[in-house]
Amino acid sequence: MRVEANPFAYDFDIDTTALVLIDMQRDFIEPGGFGETLGNDVALLEAIVPATQTMLKAWRDAGGLVVHTREAHEADLSDCPPAKLNRGTPTHRIGDLGPMGRILVKGEPGNQIVDALAPVEGELVIDKPGKGMFYATGLHEILQNRGITHLLFGGVTTEVCVQTSMREANDRGYDGLLLEDCTESYFPAFKAATIDMIRAQGAIVGWTAPSHALLAALRGTGSD
């Protein structure tokens, strides 16, 4: 299957490809969560949910593997080093009690994936203590065991957890494609810069494409 992508076409087989949705959690997307406590306008992120939902449905209908990640810490914060805990000047830090429970702590309401994109049976849900999806998660071994070689990416935020995960994936030998309208940043200029960086120099980190290009490929109306 071929997606019309940048900087050139992206070829993949559904059987060896996973869709990875990074951190589409209430803590980042809904008011009252971690994102807002850092002073961000979360409405920007909420806006990508409909396109992501459409694309997720098409991928599920095609029978593709779905991986959801959550940025999530243990209740005692033993997996959150001071270097992470003490950064920034948020009104609430990781572990503090906010309107949606303890910020970025496993099991809390704010730590869950937004309802519109909630995982279904058979999909992988990976809790990660870092920004990247491979650090301290065992995900690489899980994907290797399933024969996955290609990764389609959506999620938030583009320049933090999504870009870190794409770079980690690239170093581990995966071919990654970022779905441009299924990812967002609190800073539009950072999103644009990330897209440019990923596909620069002949796809040095990976490919990018709008989700309609993937949908066309799945419908069999893209090029093959």
71 binds ligand C5J per the rule CB under 6 A: yes
| CA-closest candidate to residue 73, choices 64, 65, 85, 63 | 85
Site for ligand C5J in 18-37 (CB under 6 A): 23, 28
Q: How many residues line the site for ligand C5J (CB under 6 A)?
A: 8
Pair 26, 49: CB distance under 8 Å: no
Residue found under tokens 């967002």: 184
Q: At its nearest, how many Å lie between ligand C5J and the CB of residue 153?
A: 12
Residue number, 128 or 199, with CB nearest to ligand C5J: 128
Q: Rounded to whole angstroms, what are the CA distances from 21 to 179, 200, 202?
A: 10, 23, 24
User: Is residue 165 a contact point for ligand C5J (CB under 6 A)?
Assistant: no
How many CA atoms lie within 13 Å of 96's alpha carbon, on the beta-carbon side? 14
Cβ atoms within 10 Å of 41's Cβ, excluding its own = 12
3-state SS class at 102: strand
Handedness of CA 145, 151, 154, 160 (dihedral sign): positive
Is residue 211 close enough to count as binding ligand C5J by CB under 6 A?
no
Cβ nearer to ligand C5J, comparing 4 with 74 = 74
156 or 179: whose CB is closer to ligand C5J?
Answer: 156
Q: Which is nearer to ligand C5J, 160 or 209 (CB)?
A: 160
Count CB atoms within 10 A of the CB of residue 81: 11
Q: Which stretch binds ligand C5J (CB under 6 A): 49-57, 110-118, 155-163, 172-180?
A: 155-163
Site for ligand C5J in 103-132 (CB under 6 A): 131
Specify the 3-state DSSP secondary structure of 178. strand
* Residue among 156, 124, 153 nearest 137 (CA): 124
157 scored as a contact of ligand C5J (CB under 6 A)? yes
**Alpha-carbon distance 183 to 47, whole Å?**
10
Based on the shown chain and the rule CB under 6 A, indicate whether residue 67 belongs to the binding site for ligand C5J.
Answer: no
CB of 90 to ligand C5J, least distance (A): 10
CB 25 to ligand C5J: min, Å: 8
Quick one: 33 or 222, whose CB is closer to ligand C5J?
33
Query: Residues in the site for ligand C5J, rule: CB under 6 A?
Result: 23, 28, 71, 131, 156-157, 160-161
